Chain A
Amino acid sequence: MTAHPANGLNDVVHQRVRLGILTIAHEARKVEFGYLRESLELTAGNLSQHLTVLEKAGLVTIDKGYAGKRARTWITLTKAGRAALREEIDQLRQLIAQIDHTSG
């Protein structure tokens, strides 16, 4: 018996906001906190909580710095983050295929 694709889903990543953060960070190479907040339509506090979870899991790195006098926070995907994103997308595709197969 083959494992159901849902069993391979990663709790940390399998969530709309966190998957969104990883997707944006992957496409953008590095992304600023404000861009993430606006794209995902989140409050700063809510986004910070998600970023803390991802950082603790080693999926992103967070760098704080200044652009002139303005404080900026940049988020970069780690190697583990790229792998987790790829795995999540693969699992989602398998899940959809399985649903289509079962209902079709």
Chain B
Amino acid sequence: MTTHPAAPGDGPRELLADSRQLARRVRRDQRATWFPLLVLSAVTFVAVPVYGYGHYALTCRSQGVARACYVSSTSVLVYWPIALVLAYVAIAAFTLRRARGRGVGTRTLPYAVAGIVIAVLLGGAAAWAAAHPPIGSYTFLGLTVGPGHTDWVFQLLTPTAAIALALFVLAAVERSWALLVLAAGYLVFALLPVSDLGWVIGHPSPWDRVPRLVIGGGVLLLAGLLFALAQRPRPRAAA
């Protein structure tokens, strides 16, 4: 039971309002959303020459009279898991250093860990999918995927989808609605067949992924710049 008289400004409404304001301030000081977005944008743009000049192999699979072939690039399959893991390590190192400098802990570490896990898992799944091109329906991890859905499953195994899924984790840890909208939009973009983007290079071409990479990298770059602008340090009010 409280026995001492309440000081002015210690009313329940004032205390709750103070508490909320302090919580908002800490969250604002913790956020550095722009950095992961700019790093992932750079990783996406660097992927363009990897796709363009990488080594490609043709894998074919037969089932009865049906035959399916899949063109995959070893350099692409190697590039993405390594590039994404390095990107998330850089993000973790930057946010830790920045948080220490500001005097608060950081919330971004779960995002970096989730990003690495998703990158490694989807990288492995993409390598498996490249070696097992779909014919009609196929089974993966005990799930049978019908003929009409294989494109979607393959789109989900792309690095763009891996980046989008990790962005959901970042939106959750930073409790940011703006980032949640970006993550949802980016996932939709990742799942769209490239022809729906209205910018198609004649198939088959090693450059056929360039439109997706340029648009994806551009979106991340623009979002990163906007977040940097919104999260720039504000001068402290004079006491």
Interface 9-mer from B23-31, B62-70, B224-232: B23-31
The answer for the CA separation of A46 and B105 in the assembled complex, in Å, is 23
The answer for the CA separation of A16 and B11 in the assembled complex, in Å, is 9
Give A47-83 interface residues, CB cut-off 8 Å to B.
67
Inter-chain contact B22/A24, CB cutoff 8 Å: yes
Within 8 Å by CB of B106, from A14, A26, A29, lies A29
Given contacts A23-B23, A39-B25, A96-B12, contact A31 B18 (CB under 8 A): no
The answer for the CA separation of A23 and B202 in the assembled complex, in Å, is 58
Please give, as numbers and ranges, the residues of chain A lying within 8 Å of B102 by CB-CB distance.
35
The answer for the CA separation of A33 and B103 in the assembled complex, in Å, is 8
Give B20-61 interface residues, CB cut-off 8 Å to A.
22-23, 25-27, 29-30
Q: How large is the interface on B (under 10, 10 to 19, 20 to 34, 35 or more residues)?
A: 20 to 34
| A76: min CB distance to chain B, Å | 8
| B32: min CB distance to chain A, Å | 14
Inter-chain contact A31/B1, CB cutoff 8 Å: no
Within 8 Å by CB of B12, from A24, A30, A99, lies A99
Interface residue A87 (Cβ < 8 Å from any Cβ of B): no
Q: How large is the interface on A (under 10, 10 to 19, 20 to 34, 35 or more residues)?
A: 20 to 34
Given contacts A16-B7, A95-B12, contact A6 B2 (CB under 8 A): yes
Inter-chain contact A92/B104, CB cutoff 8 Å: no
- Bits for A1-18, please: 1 = Cβ < 8 Å to B, else 0: 000001101110011100
Interface residue B149 (Cβ < 8 Å from any Cβ of A): no
Interface residue A89 (Cβ < 8 Å from any Cβ of B): yes
The answer for the CA separation of A38 and B237 in the assembled complex, in Å, is 11
Given contacts A31-B103, A96-B13, A99-B12, contact A19 B18 (CB under 8 A): yes
Interface residue B71 (Cβ < 8 Å from any Cβ of A): no
List, sorted by A's number, 11 A–B pairs whose CB atoms are closer than 8 Å.
A6-B2, A7-B1, A7-B2, A14-B10, A19-B15, A27-B104, A32-B104, A33-B103, A35-B104, A92-B12, A93-B16
Please give 14 more A-B residue pairs, beta carbons under 8 A apart, in addition to A6-B1, A9-B2, A11-B3. A7-B1, A15-B7, A16-B10, A20-B22, A27-B26, A27-B30, A28-B30, A29-B104, A30-B105, A31-B26, A32-B104, A35-B104, A41-B239, A93-B16
